[in-house]
Amino acid sequence: MKQKLLWLVLALTLAARAAALDAGTAYLPELRPEPQEARAAHMAAALLSRYHYRALPLDDALSGKIFDQYLKSMDPEKVFFLQADVDRLAVDRNKLGAAILKEDLAIPFDIFNLYERRVVERFSYARTLLKTGFDFERIESYQYARDKQAWLQTESAANELWRKRVKNDWLRLKLAGKDDKNIVEILDKRYEHLLKRIGLIKSADAFQIYMNAYTMAIEPHTNYLGPRAAADFDISMRLSLVGIGAVLTELDEYATIRELVPGGPASLSGQLKVGDRIVGVAQGEGGVMTDVMGWRLDDTVEQIRGAADSVVRLDVLTADAGPDGRHKLVTLVRKPISLKEQAAKSSVQTVADGNATRRTGVISLPSFYEDFAARQSRDPNYRSATRDVARLLADLKKQKVDSVLIDLRNNGGGSLLEAVELTGLFVGKGPVVQQRNARGEISVERDPRAGVAWDGPLGVLINRGSASASEIFAAAIQDYGRGLIMGEPSFGKGTVQSMIDLDQMAKNAKPQLGELKMTIAQFFRINGGTTQLRGVKPDILFPAFDDADFGESSYDNALPWVQIRAADYSPVGDLEGLLPILSTLHEARVKSDPDFRYLNEDIAAFKLRRKKNLVSLNEAERREERDLEEARLKSRKPMTDAGKAAHEEGVSQAPAAGLGSAAADDGLQADERKLTRELATEKRQKDAKDVLLIEAVRILGDEVGVLKSDLKLASRVKARSVLENMP
């Protein structure tokens, strides 16, 4: 689901690879494909053209789509290539397919190298502008979103666009209180840092971008993962790795510790703290220390990870030391690390209902994770989302909660089996989802277990970021009449992917070829509909920062919405009579809730800025806009934590070009801020009241109260008790 955004971010990162220090800087050496990459492309093509759910021959038509997707992935905002470049490159647009089958990647790498040259030219020109400054009294504006615009026609048009782009960067810093000298230093350092980072890009990175242009030209959710990306995906599914238990970030070319995992070797040693910088890594007690200063962060992380119980030595520059400060040597033994922060968590929320207090158990589930290998090897303690949620439910029952809320916001999915088994915890034995493969054959996935873990009032909270397995679960709960779905319409991903290990197919001893995540089926609700394109529509809608460029409907080649015959299932409840009551109570409550009013105001302001798609480059106008925004926020007396959180959410969803609230814009990128400030901001957002979660809890509290007072309605809601399924 997140692949489109992933490649957008990677493309923007790649855009700086050739950022020169001045106009005379030489171009970077050209990248060339490795033999194993050409082989991986050929193997992937054989699989995609035969076994994909939407199998397409690698002919001229598909080659043209790959070409278009490739340019889009590199230059999505159309700020580097000129129309003349596109026209010249288009001579080879229909040759890409045949070249893959011949294991010849010369054309895509030539395109990528030309792209790098254009990036050098654009950033070199941009850097010259730092020497002259800008006239901020001039009346002009900058259009920051250009994905729907035409390619730049001339060099002068490109220069004008980049002049405005750099001017906007400068003005943002100026409005944040920086003086001209400081601004030049920040922007100069920014471009230099980008150059150094992107200068480390390898052929494998360019190849992965090209391969994903191929896979996404077929269908949005088929992707290629290189060996390192495949390893990271595996870690995200099993929620464990072997290492020292430190989360790193890159600051000023240092691999900097931003978090220590409790119970991990780094934390238990007492020798490391947040802000410490790792400048060298050595393997074993006597291994040679390797200087990792200026390395790619993932390369440094790979050096620190290793086999369980092995020794790694770190050369550390402490957080309070200057660049020439004294180093210290830290020796650690690698251990298995459980990624608990990415696992299911629970809490108990209470709301007052007259003289009664309603207790809701909230379970937040970030993904449908599962340790596939451990499960296949019959490890009795294998990790999975369903197992963790079952344990949390047992604990919540001991705490005598009245209702349970499953928070699936921004849960992009994961294991299909986990979605099926998790549904079973609430509906018992029965069908959960239908699958249709490329041959049109339909199968029904069901949980064979009869018992349930929770049979009381249930709610599911979703948003636009809830996708795939999240949608399977939410749709099944809705179709069974088992619980209330609240929030905003989900992503709309109704397809099933399978991971194919190319190295396993080639019988390679070591990872070289990567993996293919290929769409093999489409899933359907048990009522016969699908979540494809339309997503799951909540029973009770919440306000949302609608993003037209996010969700299945934003893809121009997404599979259509279709319907098949319903599965053989029986609803376990009927919420039809309850929903109007709960909706009325909800609407009356939020109408007088200041936090909801502030949230709606921020959403309206966000949509207006997005529709306008322009920012003024006149200092007086921008200051006036900022003052008006500050006045709007100050009018909230007092501004609640929830109001602040809603405001910050709106800012966080805005692109760096300046779409966010001017009152909160410091003009800096994340790696340009002090780590202490970044961590403090994250903590403030994490600790702030969650407006939507609180309202979802209140709605469940309403449900409990209504059902207790209306036994006739309660009997309809629980038409067929799921307890009947218990052995």
**Fold match between 240-338 and 343-494+521-727?**
no
Higher pLDDT, 1 or 364: 364
- Which among 54, 69, 142, 64 has a CA at the least distance from the CA of 558? 54
What is the SS3 assignment for 145? coil
Mean pLDDT of 176-182: 96
Mean pLDDT check: name the lowest of 186-200, 225-239, 609-623: 186-200
Q: What is the pLDDT of residue 410?
A: 96
CA distances from 300 to 67, 276, 284 (A): 34, 14, 16
Q: What is the pLDDT of residue 662?
A: 61
Mean pLDDT of 381-390: 95
pTM confidence score: 0.90
298 contact partners, CB below 8 Å, separation of at least 6: 228
Q: Where are the alpha helices (DSSP H) in 357-415?
A: 372-376, 385-398
Q: Which CATH architecture is the domain 343-494+521-727 placed in?
A: Alpha-Beta Complex (3.90)
Structure tokens at 612: 């306008």
What is the SS3 assignment for 422? helix
Which residue shows structure tokens 């009664």?
Answer: 356
Higher pLDDT, 635 or 198: 635
Q: Is the pLDDT of residue 53 over 80?
A: yes
Q: Is the pLDDT of residue 1 over 50?
A: no
Kindly state the greatest CA–CA separation across the chain. 81
Q: Rounded to an integer, what is the distance from CA 511 to the centroid of its chain?
A: 26
Q: Is the pLDDT of residue 190 over 90?
A: no
pLDDT in tens, 494-532: 999 999 999 999 999 999 999 999 999 999 999 999 999
Q: What is the pLDDT of residue 661?
A: 56
CA distance 72 to 67: 9
Q: Is the pLDDT of residue 648 over 70?
A: no
Q: Is the pLDDT of residue 590 over 60?
A: yes
Q: What is the pLDDT of residue 440?
A: 95
CA distance 645 to 107: 48
**What's the pLDDT band for 139 if we cut at 50, 70, 90?**
very high
State which amino acid sits at residue 73.
Answer: S
Q: What is the CATH number of domain 240-338?
A: 2.30.42.10
Q: What is the pLDDT of residue 636?
A: 83
**What's the pLDDT band for 561 if we cut at 50, 70, 90?**
very high
Averaged pLDDT of the chain: 89
Structure tokens at 210: 């090209």
Query: Residue ranges of the domains in the chain?
Result: 3-218, 240-338, 343-494+521-727
Q: What is the pLDDT of residue 127?
A: 87
Q: What is the pLDDT of residue 355?
A: 87
CA distances from 466 to 406, 413, 537, 549, 693 (A): 12, 7, 12, 15, 15
Mean pLDDT of 140-144: 95
User: Are 213 and 70 in contact, with CB atoms under 8 Å apart?
Assistant: yes
What is the SS3 assignment for 49? helix
644 contact partners, CB below 8 Å, separation of at least 6: 684, 688
Strand pairing category for 495-501 and 615-616: unpaired
Catalytic residue among 493, 517, 644, 718: 493
**What's the pLDDT band for 652 if we cut at 50, 70, 90?**
very low
CA distance 154 to 399: 68
Mean pLDDT of 222-251: 95
User: Are 410 and 367 in contact, with CB atoms under 8 Å apart?
Assistant: no
Handedness of CA 15, 164, 617, 545 (dihedral sign): negative
State which amino acid sits at residue 97.
Answer: G
Q: What is the pLDDT of residue 649?
A: 45
Mean pLDDT of 377-384: 92
Q: What is the pLDDT of residue 711?
A: 74
Q: What is the pLDDT of residue 312?
A: 97
Q: Which of 9-13, 616-620, 645-649, 658-662 has the highest mean pLDDT?
A: 616-620
**What's the pLDDT band for 13 if we cut at 50, 70, 90?**
very low
CA distance 656 to 665: 9
Catalytic residue among 124, 364, 468, 490: 468
262 cis-preceded (ω within 30 degrees of 0)? no
Q: What is the pLDDT of residue 683?
A: 87
Residue 468 annotated among the catalytic residues of the structure: yes
Q: What is the pLDDT of residue 204?
A: 94
DSSP 370: B
The string over 169-188, giving b where at least 16 C-beta atoms fall within 10 Å of a residue's C-beta and e elsewhere, is: bbbbbbbeebeeeebbebbe
For the chain, the straight-line distance linking the first and the last C-alpha, in angstroms and rounded, comes to 38
Q: What is the pLDDT of residue 153?
A: 96
State which amino acid sits at residue 561.
Answer: W
Q: Is the pLDDT of residue 581 over 90?
A: yes
Q: Which of 127-131, 209-213, 659-663 has the highest mean pLDDT?
A: 209-213
CA distances from 59 to 101, 135, 359, 434, 705 (A): 10, 52, 60, 32, 62
Mean pLDDT check: name the lowest of 539-553, 557-571, 648-662: 648-662
pLDDT in tens, 294-353: 999 999 999 999 999 999 999 999 999 988 899 999 999 999 999 988 999 999 999 998
Q: Where are the alpha helices (DSSP H) in 258-384?
A: 265-269, 297-304, 372-376
Question: How would you write 682-711 as a 3-class SS string?
Answer: HHHHHHCCCHHHHHHHHHHHHHHHHHHHCH
Q: What is the pLDDT of residue 712?
A: 74
pLDDT in tens, 668-726: 998 888 898 889 888 888 888 899 999 999 999 999 999 988 777 777 777 544 434 33
pLDDT in tens, 254-278: 999 999 999 999 999 999 999 999 9
Catalytic residue among 169, 479, 595, 602: 479
356 contact partners, CB below 8 Å, separation of at least 6: 705
**What's the pLDDT band for 26 if we cut at 50, 70, 90?**
low
User: Are 545 and 505 in contact, with CB atoms under 8 Å apart?
Assistant: no
439 contact partners, CB below 8 Å, separation of at least 6: none
Angle in degrees, 0-180, between the axes of helices 385-398 and 416-427, rounded to the nearest 10: 30
